[in-house]
Chains A and B, each alone.
Chain A
Amino acid sequence: MGIFDTIRAVLGTSAEADATRDADPEDLFGMSTAYVTMEADLGYESVDAAALCFSGVDSTDFSETVADVEAILGAGEEETGTTFDVREDSHGWEWVVLRDDDPEDLVTSIHFAADEFGERGYGSRLLAAVFGFEADGDRAYWIYSFRRGAYYPFAPRRGKERANDVEFKLQSVLDGELDVEDDESYWYPMWPDTAGGHPWE
């Protein structure tokens, strides 16, 4: 780390400040084709679940927003069969977890939820959208960071290890199709609370 990096860091003009670009819920639609590519080119199938991670606000308005999101998803459930539940994890973050064997419906529902938060002025409370995949018992996730407005891969293994080679492979195959975060120092893990669970479990 050179002297200029130190100065930049001290002045707070480090990478944290220069997010790639603003997050856009429309980015989430990129996952529809990514599901196809993941299966066709890499043999990774959907785990039939995806989730949206956000941090709550202690206000009536925010509670109402969450209730509205639930209402929208509840209405969608009758049409698409996408089931959902809202839960809190051990980090104190909240999740909207969606389950459906049709990836298309998962993406649509995640987008609906994210869009509603944004419309109500809570876009900044959104942290990540997480899409799960599986191949031969190995898990891999595409995480969309609302802070960075970009996707990155996450391949957890037993004992809080990460399969970097798998992550790299996902990046190289999906880059272009998804807006992939090219700075690995932002590929933050999202470890599950329960061993062998998904990040939202």
Chain B
Amino acid sequence: MKWKPDWGLRGRMVLTMFLLFALYLVFVGVLFRTNSVVFLPLMGAFVLVQFLFSDRLALYSMGAKEVSAEEYPELHATVSRLSQQADLPKPTVAVADSRVPNAFAAGRSQKSATVCVTTELLRTLDRDELEGVLAHELAHVKNRDVMVMTIASFLSTVAFMIVRMGFWFGGGGRNRQGGGIIVAIVASLVVWIVSFLLIRALSRYREFAADRGGALITGQPSALASALLTIDGRMDRVPKEDLREQAEMNAFFILPAKGNAITKLFSTHPSTEKRVEKLRDLEREMETR
């Protein structure tokens, strides 16, 4: 099965970016009207620093360190092979000592990317599942996701800073700019909330796109799905007790809590169920061609 651009996902990504951009223009307009534009270059510098050091920052915050091929030969071999398959330069491989099974990709470009996994992830997943997860992270690198997100976050970071600083500066309330500052704060607050929600949406599309991309790299959607279920603990929902034992008694079942609209709005990752469902569709597409 060949790589096909997923226009549904792309369209939504583009639309989200477009909305963010429109929001940004309105925001700058409001800042000009209220003479609060001085904040912009300051924030720009801040975000630029963040952008330049985002990967190191992410690795540092996870307590991850780069590992050599001698320390983790299998992990390196897998990453090499998958990078080749994805037509990417081999990223730096890092491992974080953590009890939470997780993985992430960081980096500004395809050339300077880092893929990081936690020790718990290596412990809980089998080889195929790990491959699925690594391919998902490489798909993020291939899609240049991190950059898109950084740009998208720029605006909400600016707005957030203005809200904070505005309260700080506007706290006196004795200056003639007082009214303007309050308008700027309110505008910033609105912008921050709206952009936050848009970024959340964009972030979810990214995950779907990376799921799809990763599955196309390995050719095994079910490996990633199985990994997701393992990480999510839903594998634990597959019962251990024999059907014949169970039929003898009335067992109680723990039903998964169903997320409501609000939690959906605020979550960065789509629900495991949704992702698994899409991977299933993909699996079927692949199997029945």
Chain B residues with CB under 8 A of A8 = 255
- Asked if residues A189 and B280 are in contact (CB atoms below 8 Å), the reply is no
Docked Cα-Cα span, A104 to B222, in Å, equals 29
| Partner of B284 from A162, A167, A175 at Cβ < 8 Å | A175
Do A184 and B226 form a contact, CB below 8 Å, given A15-B253, A53-B244? Answer: no
Count contacts on A: residues with CB < 8 A to the other chain: 41
- Asked if residues B280 and A164 are in contact (CB atoms below 8 Å), the reply is no
- Asked if residues B234 and A184 are in contact (CB atoms below 8 Å), the reply is yes
> Which residue from chain A places its CB closest to the CB of B289 in the assembled complex?
A41
- Asked if residues B252 and A168 are in contact (CB atoms below 8 Å), the reply is no
* Binary flags per residue of A169-180, CB closer than 8 Å to B gives 1, else 0: 101110110000
Chain B residues with CB under 8 A of A172 = 221-222, 225, 279-281, 283-284, 287
Chain B residues with CB under 8 A of A53 = 244
Chain B residues with CB under 8 A of A164 = 226, 229-230, 235, 238
- Asked if residues A42 and B287 are in contact (CB atoms below 8 Å), the reply is yes
Chain A residues with CB under 8 A of B61 = none
Determine if B288 is an interface residue (Cβ-Cβ < 8 Å).
Answer: yes
- Asked if residues A188 and B241 are in contact (CB atoms below 8 Å), the reply is yes
- Asked if residues B280 and A165 are in contact (CB atoms below 8 Å), the reply is no
Count contacts on B: residues with CB < 8 A to the other chain: 37
Docked Cα-Cα span, A187 to B254, in Å, equals 14
Determine if A186 is an interface residue (Cβ-Cβ < 8 Å).
Answer: yes
- Asked if residues A173 and B284 are in contact (CB atoms below 8 Å), the reply is yes
CB distance from A94 to the nearest CB of B (A): 11
CB distance from B219 to the nearest CB of A (A): 12
Do A189 and B288 form a contact, CB below 8 Å, given A5-B254, A169-B222? Answer: no
Determine if B239 is an interface residue (Cβ-Cβ < 8 Å).
Answer: yes
CB distance from A98 to the nearest CB of B (A): 19
Q: Can you sample 23 A-B contacts with CB below 8 Å?
A: A1-B254, A1-B255, A2-B257, A5-B257, A9-B253, A12-B250, A15-B253, A91-B245, A164-B226, A165-B128, A168-B229, A168-B280, A172-B281, A173-B283, A173-B284, A175-B280, A175-B284, A185-B254, A188-B241, A188-B242, A188-B243, A189-B239, A189-B241
Which residues of B pack against A, CB within 8 Å? 126, 128-129, 221-223, 225-226, 229-230, 234-235, 237-247, 250-255, 257, 279-281, 283-284, 287-288
